[in-house]
Structure 1
Amino acid sequence: MKYLLTIVTVCFNSEKTIEKCVTSVKNQLTKNIEYLIVDGKSSDNTINIIRKFQSDQIRLISETDEGIYDAMNKGIRNSQGTWIWFVNSDDYIKNGQVENLISYLKKLENYDCIYGDLEYVRVINNEFFMNTKKTTLDLKHLKNEMVMAHPSTVCKKDALLEVGVFDTNFKIAADWDLLLRLYNLHYNFVHIDTILSRFYCNGASSKPHILERHKVRKKNKSYKLIDVYMLKDVVKLVIFSILKPIKNKMLKK
């Protein structure tokens, strides 16, 4: 069966968060949506939790993989939807969010990628601090840095397959590399004025990985002789290291 949208969640040993995630998706499924969960052969109770929800529309793949992007590639290749949306295993979808997205997908069917805004969440001493970040409308800087949020981006399966899915040589920046390839090959992007995801700043992808970002720019020929943005990344890292403790103190007040 062909669906309009496939929601994909990749997970590994996610027993603490997976039930909330799956429940939030299950409660919003309609006949034109499928939910595909790709598990990396979890050794905790994750698989047992997921199996409680399995149905024709909620499918589980559980097998060893070579990391998060390898699992995401399995999600792409095994999906039956025209559009693909990755939802993190420690996230959940707010009520009405899927219905809102579906309305956009129907109106914007001539585009290849739709991207929205996101919420940033910081956890400090078990307290949650949240703020909204508007995503840029101008993607010309995508060649230099990740200016959009991958969890807030929904792309057509055909487009992802055509450009070669995620490059598993990257450990934290394959999402940027993939979106940059789509942009450089002139696939159509459009911004929607709605929040599609929240980003937990304590995750691996929130940490600085300057060398890998340099490799993405090199692979995609984003500079001619000198990667100036690598120097900017170093400066940003220094400033971030100085300001982060100050910002955290302000948030706790």
Structure 2
Amino acid sequence: MPTISIITITYNAERFLERTIHSIVAQQAADFEYIVVDGASTDGTLDIIKRFEANVTTWISEPDKGLYDAMNKGLHLAKGEYVWFMNAGDEIHDPQTLPNLLARIKAEAVDVYYSDALFVREEQGIVRPVGLRSQVTPHTLPHNLTWRDMALGMKVCHQAFVVKRAVAPDYLTNNLSADLDWEIRCLKAATTIAFLPFVLCKYLLGGLSVQQHRRSLIDRFKVLVSHFGLLSTIMNHAQIVWRATQFKSNN
């Protein structure tokens, strides 16, 4: 059984997928499996997967019911002790990231590991750094994370969140903030949680929730109500709006 299952979800992402695969192939470690779940792409995605087939442990290409249905497929295929999602366009931060993570797991195998994320943006085919998530967004990153820290929204980028498969539930499939719900449920189930002092990922800006921003905000509200209650969520959203306004005025 590999220690980590790295899972990539992709659909018609030939522009981005190779970048993700290269970041995984470059890792100076072997104790992992790599799973690619494709939603029956009609572009050149399958050609890319087949070109790197020697580096991919398992891959499937079939229709799905959306991003989180595909992520559930990845979870069900995983055999590793931990699962780590690195979707098309995102990258593992550098070639020493996985060895550093595996060393931490060997020293102390906690239920959840998390870190900051480096935001990047593609401009005219060139990927440029934007900055650490904790610095370029209003989301500060606590070093002693609990599920209650998510009351004001997602504190940890999904690609900077590595979880023991034993405590990882399935994702909601009808909610664009299912990643927030999943992180909260993972943290609720975890007995041990550890902050990593190194960056796990490069996160490509412009994902599904950005493309469908209004629905994403409504779905986030539903997720937070389910975990924190209606009154608390309404009060917290007032704080979210104030915090966002303050952050914009200072930047």
Aligned equivalents of 2:55, 2:130: Cα separation in 1: 36
Which secondary structure does the structure 2 equivalent of 1:65 belong to? Answer: coil
Summarize the alignment of residues 139-158 of structure 1 with structure 2, pairs less than 5 Å apart.
Answer: 139=145, 140-158=148-166
Q: CA deviation at 1:104?
A: 1.5
**Aligned mate of 1:204, from 202, 208, 216:** 208
Identity %: 26
Structure 1 position 98, deviation (Å) = 1.5
How many residues get paired? 238
Moved more, 38-47 or 83-92: 83-92
Within 5 Å, give how 1:1-253 maps onto structure 2: 2-28=1-27, 30-55=29-54, 58-93=57-92, 94-109=94-109, 111-122=110-121, 128-134=128-134, 135-139=141-145, 140-160=148-168, 164-171=169-176, 173-206=177-210, 207=213, 209-224=216-231, 227-235=234-242, 239=245, 243=248
Q: Measure the CA separation in 1 of the matches of 2:166 and 2:218.
A: 30
TM norm structure 1: 0.83
Partners of 2:193 and 2:102 in 1: CA distance = 16
Q: 1 or 2, which has the higher helix percentage?
A: 2
Give the counterpart letter for 1:159 in structure 2: V
Q: CA deviation at 1:154?
A: 0.5
How far the C-alpha of 1:96 sits from its partner, in A, is: 1.6
Gaps of 5+ in 1: 248-253
TM norm structure 2: 0.83
Single out whichever of 184-193 and 59-68 deviates more from structure 2.
Answer: 184-193
| Aligned counterparts of 2:107 and 2:164: Cα–Cα separation in 1 | 14
The answer for the alignment partner of 2:137 in structure 1 is none
Offset of residue 227 of structure 1:
1.9
**Structure 2: how far apart are the matches of 1:107 and 1:119?**
25
Local SS of the residue matching 1:195:
coil
**TM-fit CA distance, 1:235:** 4.7
Name the counterpart of 2:138.
none
Partners of 2:193 and 2:209 lie apart in 1 by: 23
Offset from partner CA, 1:79-100 (integer Å, 9 cap, x none) = 1111111112102232222111
Higher mean C-alpha deviation, range 84-93 or range 130-139: 130-139
**Deviation for aligned residue 1:126:** 7.1
Q: Note the aligned Cα RMSD (angstroms).
A: 2.7
3-state SS of paired residue (2:87): coil
Aligned counterparts of 1:73 and 1:64: Cα–Cα separation in 2: 13
1:113, 1:188 within 8 Å by CA — same for their partners in 2? yes
CA displacement 1:141-173 (0-9 Å, x = unmatched): 22332111110010011111xxx32111212x1
Q: Is the 8 A contact 1:5 1:84 kept in 2?
A: yes
Q: Residue type of the partner of 1:88? A: N
- Give the Cα separation in 2 of the matches to 1:31 and 1:121: 27
Distance 1:142 1:68 in 2: 22
Change (3 A) 1:31 1:124: closer
More displaced stretch, 220-229 vs 120-129: 120-129
CA–CA separation in structure 2 for the residues paired with 1:40 and 1:187: 34
Partner Cα distance (2:125, 2:27) in 1: 29
Matched residues in 1 for 2:81 and 2:196: separation?
18
